[in-house]
Structure 1
């Protein structure tokens, strides 16, 4: 395939909004090979290993743990790289920087709920005996994870798990019986960074206490602190190591190179948000008004705009086939809807990817119809939840 066909820089905003990013078109086998190599590099020889969700909450926990173990990386190279990304007179090879940069003795492996088993299998395979292992901001999809958890426990000195999602009671019990110190906070009161902060026996500096509070404002969608949008955007656009290092040094008071970088990226971000809002429709489902749209965009801002139009819930279908479901005070059942379409999450914030894509023709239909089938499947799930509510 000609690289220019999937190069974002060569696409108009309209087309970029309708198509997934370049990474979507890479075979899973290549992604797995790369993920395995990077995980092995992070795990082997590490004094402590953290498996964490790659969002602001999971990575915030890593920043806390590196503070506890005095294992933060030098922030200067990351700041230099940031400056180069916004100054056309400078050169930045971010991929090369990531390859050459020093490794922290607290190794980081990022994962999602769907890739949690694979991440833990890599830990079990590569971790040195007697190492402390942490899992942060991840909730297993099913009980199949227990076997690999037992393998990790058998090699590690201790295994501690911090989370705030809604756990199945039987899975939580099985994880604890396997020998894991599992702490699950209230999903509507704490983010996982809060859980880690109160669970770790350490006197954290003020900037990291503040980091947990602002992360909570973003992750629970409280939206009272304007800095939470900065953390959300930065965690999405930066590499995991960069984000952990910078917020570990500065907390939510991000330095000027980060602020300049965010301003630079937000020009396109706002345009993609507007494109998704312009495509939105409002649907009546049972007692609720559901805003439905499609596009590569920042879902929280789109959902907020749809609420302002009168939506109780918002569905943002992505070009890659997944969807974000956002609720409100009038709709706190997003996780129930997502659970019916191969997903899960929180009462006001959930995600899913309906199992409806059999081949690339299905994806081609998805892109050219702006997610028509996915929208239908998710709206049908809303109908089922509405029927049960009655």
Structure 2
């Protein structure tokens, strides 16, 4: 393929935001080979390994663990690499790929571009710290555990951060094997765990610490769980990370951390926040500011493309494009939508709810996806070949939109039936109580 066809270059934003990023055109088989090789390089010879969600929360934990092991990388090389990117005018793809609810991380970004490491002096950073870092998503915990099992030395310390398995069975085999070969396994999280899954993990001797999901982020959990006298910058880092992760949104630095974690590689982010905490250095701030210009333009384009639909009692806004899904959804909610659907050029979609719509996971579940009541993701099984994708791009995802709206209709019908049953049961109870009261009155009268 001619590189110019997938290089944004001077292509108008109205056109390239309708297409996936370069990573989409890099075959999954080659991507898996590269991911396997990088994991092997990061894990082999390490005294400890961290499997962490690749967002600001998970990577903050990795920074803390490296600090506790005196294994942080030198930040100077990373700052030089960032400055070089700025000088070259390389603003990259700017994708929001850190959404753990979607499980689609990276499918539209340039993170998989095999050429992206060519001139990067930090390209081998993943193999340089004695505490190896393996970024993972909620649906790749098992693969990450298997890689640690395959490449780690016996007797290492293993940490798993900001990740919650849906059930125990699909992580059981590698985790049970690692429990036999590692010196310790510590798991820090703040998501809501199924009690049976948590019990099974703890039965292996894993030190599982789960914070209150509406009070702590995982960085908070790691900070209080690690036996280390951390500098104040790490306490502040946890607080600012929490501000974004729990959507408190009172500290403007939290958006900077969130955006930077999406746009930087895991090694870069963990090293920079490990060195500076929540107060990012000027070079990084300049990088984030430059990227944000493109980000905001993509948000505006996606919001402008949105069309609203009335489904049952809900107003559903549906849009298409390469954009930061959370911000787009938030804008659409502010404009009156109960739920927002962002269909992506790579074929997946993000579903976001509100206080009036907590069925996102139910909708996603009907179209090959899942997630949480107010945040879910899916990828409808409607793409058989590249012609289907060509139609997807040229029609702004019409087929994908149709099947997702049909799922909304099905959920609306189910919710209506459930509410009708509840009303019927309530009325029956009221009738029963009335009859019981009447019987008591008759009994009193007969006496």
- Place the TM-score, normalised by the shorter chain, in its bin: over 0.9
Q: Deviations over 1:107-151 (max 9, x none)?
A: 001111222222111100001100000111222244222111112
Map of 1:131 onto structure 2: 156
SS class of match (1:148): helix
Aligned length: 389
Map of 2:139 onto structure 1: 114
Matching of residues 86-97 of structure 1 within 5 Å: 86-88=86-88, 95=118, 96-97=120-121
Contact 1:165 1:345 in 2 (8 A): no
**CA distance, structure 2, for counterparts of residue 206 and residue 184 of structure 1:** 23
Matching of residues 254-273 of structure 1 within 5 Å: 254-273=280-299
What's the CA shift for 1:341? 3.3
Match of 1:98 among 97, 122, 129: 122
Which piece of structure 1 moves more, 124-133 or 245-254? 245-254
- Structure 2 stretches lacking a partner, 5+ long: 91-115, 420-447
> Residues 198 and 341 (structure 1 numbering): CA distance in 2 closer, same or farther, change over 3 Å?
farther
Which piece of structure 1 moves more, 201-210 or 242-251? 201-210
SS class of match (1:98): coil
SS class of match (1:9): coil
Map of 2:19 onto structure 1: 19
The two structures have a TM-score, normalised by structure 1, of 0.92
Map of 2:242 onto structure 1: 216
Contact 1:165 1:346 in 2 (8 A): no
**CA distance, structure 2, for counterparts of residue 32 and residue 350 of structure 1:** 24
SS class of match (2:121): helix
**CA distance, structure 2, for counterparts of residue 192 and residue 286 of structure 1:** 37
Contact 1:46 1:105 in 2 (8 A): yes
**CA distance, structure 1, for counterparts of residue 229 and residue 201 of structure 2:** 28
SS class of match (2:288): helix
What's the CA shift for 1:286? 2.7
1:54 aligns with 2:80: no
> Residues 243 and 132 (structure 1 numbering): CA distance in 2 closer, same or farther, change over 3 Å?
same
> Residues 336 and 94 (structure 1 numbering): CA distance in 2 closer, same or farther, change over 3 Å?
same
What's the CA shift for 1:388? 4.0
**CA distance, structure 1, for counterparts of residue 205 and residue 400 of structure 2:** 40
Map of 1:288 onto structure 2: 314
1:144 aligns with 2:170: yes
**CA distance, structure 2, for counterparts of residue 63 and residue 207 of structure 1:** 11
> Residues 12 and 231 (structure 1 numbering): CA distance in 2 closer, same or farther, change over 3 Å?
same
**CA distance, structure 2, for counterparts of residue 122 and residue 258 of structure 1:** 32
Map of 2:220 onto structure 1: 194
RMSD: 2.3
